[in-house]
Amino acid sequence: MKPPKPATDPSPRDDSPAAPTREGGMRRGLTSYGDAGFSLFLRKAFIKGAGYTDDALDRPVIGITDTGSGYNPCHGNMPQLIEAVQRGILLAGGLPVKFPTISVHESFAHPTSMYLRNLMSIDTEEMLRAQPMDAVVLIGGCDKTVPAQLMGAASAGLPAISLVTGSMLTGSHRGQTVGACTDCRKFWGRYRAEEIDAAEIAEVNDQLVASVGTCSVMGTASTMACIVEALGMSVPGAASPPAVTAERMRIAELTGTEAVRLARSGAGIDQILTEKAFENAIRVLLAIGGSTNGIVHLAAIAGRVGFQLDLDALDRMGRETPVLLDLKPSGQHYMEDFHAAGGMSTLLRELKPLLHLDALTVTGRTLGEEIDRARPAFAQSTVRTLANPIYPEGGIAVLRGNLAPGGAIIKQSAADPSLMEHEGRAVVFRDAADLAERVDRDDLDVEPGDILVLQNIGPKGTPGMPEAGAFPIPRKLLRQGVKDAVRISDGRMSGTAFGTVVLHATPEAAVGGPLAYVRTGDRIRLSVSARSLQWLVDDAELARRMAEAPAIEPTAERGYRQLFLKSVTQADQGVDFDFLKAAQARGKVPRA
């Protein structure tokens, strides 16, 4: 559409009957017609077509991301959440405007949801930049959605507040509580080992996901929910209420109310995402036995505001941060138990001596003030004390060595203690297809005690760094009663998974990392206590193998895949696109 006359005045006229009487709101980010007054006039004319009054349009405008999708049952309560957020915004005198962005679910994204996280973050960032809003409520939940939204909002810079959809309810199988997805893996492992039959596995399938909402254990979604609260990006108590509860809706209403206050304060997201906030988030990640994906996502979010995640410093923090939360896969309970135990206020109160209590939150109060305002403590058994943890160190350890010069990680709290110091013969699978083809063959050359290596599932390898790192134990070993084996890859694993699984080996095989040159029969030594991952092959042999088969990085002819393969960074950089990082570096986090 064209303006009626050429622009002469670049600012909207204050006496225009169409103009809001205050700055911000609908005046933000006017569409370029070369005449700002006309741009505002036109914008208001169009939105009035939806029945808005000037009074409504003069309020602080609060955008709400609508990530509901028929392909995303983890966001199945989106309509109710949006209604509650809108109520909160209206009660506080703001104008809610919902808008759609990409939604990504773990089980409905090929080749893996991680491939689309950065696309969702770009969508979120650009919609926040393009559309007029004074603050935004980011509603996400399923694993990649929350980090994508935080990455995008961090880059966009405006006031933002997060709301997670909440966890699903647990189900019951023959008297046993079950929930996605630690139990999905346990029962599938039993089925593969021929301990249960096809009828029973079908029965379990009906029970694992008992309602809409995110996975009910301390998987990536729950981890990110806790991290969001620890960062100060949500209202207090927002991490744990299950998706279908009244409390989740009250949190949503409160989020809307706080969003209006935040918009009026003008506090940008950079005032919340500080060095102290990231240190608090890392502390919580370690103390909850959180998902290893939390490290990748925190690295990406931090990168958007100029911080670089320091893996060695994170590991040092881990040595003085015990796991307190008794949730699967590190422990035994579910998110609804965590909520009944008081949720994050119980955990944060216990962690108080290790936190930056003066870190600002979206409520305008500090984390310490929010802990002090929370309901009083009571007797419960889901959140342990510092003196009686479920695991003496942080859930995640960082490994170094010639197999991963850029680092690798292991979720030690969910690993088999008897395998944490282990040397064995490597059995190598070239990629996921090779694994699928050979893992269950009776003639597979594998023995108990061998170390299983899967190559080419890193950021560029598949691409998208799929959650294939906790790959299946060969059926031949399962039949011999082997329940766990050291597995090493450049991929990720689901936060709901468990086992002695070394992940994120950096640099990845597809770009010529040492992992690419391991061969069946080589020996590898893992020492979690020494934080060491050693491939017992000398440098001369490595050089010979590299010269024999130099790496050819994958490329693509066109489209998003081409952008992805050209731009994606390694795991230690958050698997973000290199061009999305903050222009200005602000140092490393944590500083510990």
Residue ranges that bind ligand FES, judged by CB under 6 A: 74, 105-107, 142-143, 180, 214-215, 219, 221
Question: Judging by DSSP bridges, how do beta strands 95-100 and 135-140 pair with one another?
Answer: unpaired
DSSP 268-323: -GGGTS-HHHHHHHHHHHHHTT--THHHHHHHHHHHHTTEEE-HHHHHHHHHT--B
Closest to ligand FES by CB, 180 or 453: 180
Toward ligand FES, which CB reaches closer, 74 or 571? 74
Looking up tokens 């809307």 gives: 256
Sheet holding 95-100, edge to edge: 95-100, 61-66, 135-140, 160-164
* Identity of the residue, 257 or 293, whose beta carbon is nearer to ligand FES in the bound complex: 293
**Residue 408, C-beta contacts closer than 8 angstroms, at least 6 positions apart:** 398, 399, 400, 401, 488, 502, 503, 504, 505, 506, 533
C-beta of 180: minimal distance to ligand FES in Å?
A: 6
Which among 298, 70, 66 is positioned nearest to 163, based on CA atoms?
Answer: 66
Shortest distance, position 64 Cβ to ligand FES, whole Å:
20
- Residues in CB range of 466: below 8 A, 6 or more apart: 111, 112, 114, 432, 457, 491, 492
In contact, 592 and 279? CB cutoff 8 Å = yes
Contact 490, 518 (CB under 8 A): no
Complex with ligand FES: residue 216 or 413, whichever CB lies closer: 216
Distance from the Cα of residue 118 to its chain's centroid: 12
Q: Are the C-beta atoms of residues 402 and 296 closer than 8 Å to each other?
A: no
Q: Residue 221 or residue 323: which is nearer to ligand FES going by CB? A: 221
Minimum CB distance to ligand FES smaller for 171 or for 513: 171
Cβ neighbours of residue 531 closer than 8 Å, sequence gap 6 or more: 315, 397, 398, 399, 400
User: In angstroms, what is the minimal distance from the CB of 211 to ligand FES?
Assistant: 12
Q: Which residues on neighbouring strands pair with residue 455, listed in sequence order?
A: none
- Rounded to a whole number of angstroms, the minimum distance from the CB of residue 25 to ligand FES is 34
CB 214 to ligand FES: min, Å? 4
- Please say which residue, 107 or 380, places its beta carbon nearer to ligand FES: 107
Identify the CA nearest to 519 among candidates 444, 425, 449, 450.
Answer: 425
Minimum gap (Å) between residue 99 Cβ and ligand FES: 22
- CB-nearer residue toward ligand FES: 215 or 228: 215
Q: How long a stretch of residues is the chain?
A: 592
C-alpha distances (whole Å) from 72 to each of 78, 103, 162, 214, 294 are: 10, 7, 18, 10, 21
Do 542 and 450 touch, CB atoms closer than 8 A? no
- Whether residue 513 contacts residue 506, with contact meaning beta carbons closer than 8 Å, is answered with yes
97 vs 114 by CB, closer to ligand FES: 114
Which of 227/528 has CB closer to ligand FES? 227
Amino acid at 274: T
* Least distance between ligand FES and beta carbon 142 (Å): 3
CB nearer to ligand FES: give 96 or 147: 147
Reduce the DSSP state of residue 403 to 3 states and report it.
Answer: coil
Identify any residues that bridge with 282 across adjacent strands, giving them in sequence order: none
Residues 6 or more apart whose Cβ sits within 8 Å of residue 348: 230, 284, 355, 367, 371, 374
| Of residues 403, 402, 426, the one with CA closest to residue 522 | 426
Nearer to ligand FES, 339 or 460 (CB): 339
